[in-house]
Amino acid sequence: MTVQRSWYLVYTKPRQEQLAEENLNRQGYETYLPLVQNTRRRNGRYIKIIESFFPRYLFIHLDCVTDNWAPIRSTLGVSKIVEFGGVPAIVPEQLINGLQQNQDERGLQQINETELKPGDEVVIIDGSFAGNTGIFQQRKGAGRVAVLMDIIGKYTEVTLSEHQLSISGSDTN
């Protein structure tokens, strides 16, 4: 009998992807949890954190005939296996291979961030100017940028954290 393993999607409890992965691995299951480094604001400062690339999801490699699926549902951190019409959803092998090939040496997904160019229209998404638009001028070093903003009918240069900006027409920062 040939073992036919496929990747399936596990839905985890909120912010418990790594806990679920650790407990599934401890039980002998093969899992894959893509990670990414993001910048978040904590206590008024921007810090870099490593988090799940797909919040609340991780992948598990199973054989639908020989593997025991019963313990998965009761594993600490796991909510359920994703199903469509009562059938566990198979994740294409190419997707997993693509994610694994996109990792750096630390195992983190590489994200191509759009580089701002002078003259780009930006939206301020955080801070006291949130919701306003401006024109990117230049980098000021250490995560700071200069933006021209129309304040009371006159363009004024404002220095902001680069994490407070989003390129106009985009939802990424």
- DSSP state, residue 116: P
Q: What is the pLDDT of residues 6-44, one digit of tens each?
A: 999 999 999 999 999 999 999 999 999 999 887 777 887
Of the candidates 13, 14, 10, 49, the residue with the CA atom closest to the CA atom of residue 33: 10
Q: What is the pLDDT of residues 74-132, one digit of tens each?
A: 999 999 999 999 999 999 999 999 999 989 888 888 876 667 889 989 888 877 788 88
Q: Going by CATH, does the domain composed of 121-167 fall within 2.30.30.30?
A: yes
pLDDT recorded at residue 2: 58
Tokens at residue 14, please? 């909120």
Query: How far, in Å, are 95, 115, 124, 126 from residue 139 at the CA level?
Result: 36, 11, 15, 18
Cα(61)–Cα(57) distance, integer angstroms: 14
For 16-51, the three-class secondary structure string (H helix, E strand, C coil) is CHHHHHHHHHHCCCEEECCEEEEEEEECCEEEEEEE
Please check the confidence at residue 141 and state whether its pLDDT lies above 80: no
Give the lowest-confidence range in 45-59, 111-125, 159-173: 159-173
Cα(17)–Cα(127) distance, integer angstroms: 30
Rounded to whole angstroms, the maximal C-alpha distance in the chain is: 76
Give the global pTM.
0.67
pLDDT recorded at residue 34: 94
Q: Considering the chain, tell me which residue range(s) the CATH 2.30.30.30 domain(s) occupy.
A: 121-167
Q: Considering the chain, tell me which residue range(s) the CATH 3.30.70.940 domain(s) occupy.
A: 5-101
pLDDT recorded at residue 81: 95
Q: Report whether 38 contacts 48 (CB < 8 A).
A: yes
CATH code: domain 5-101 is: 3.30.70.940
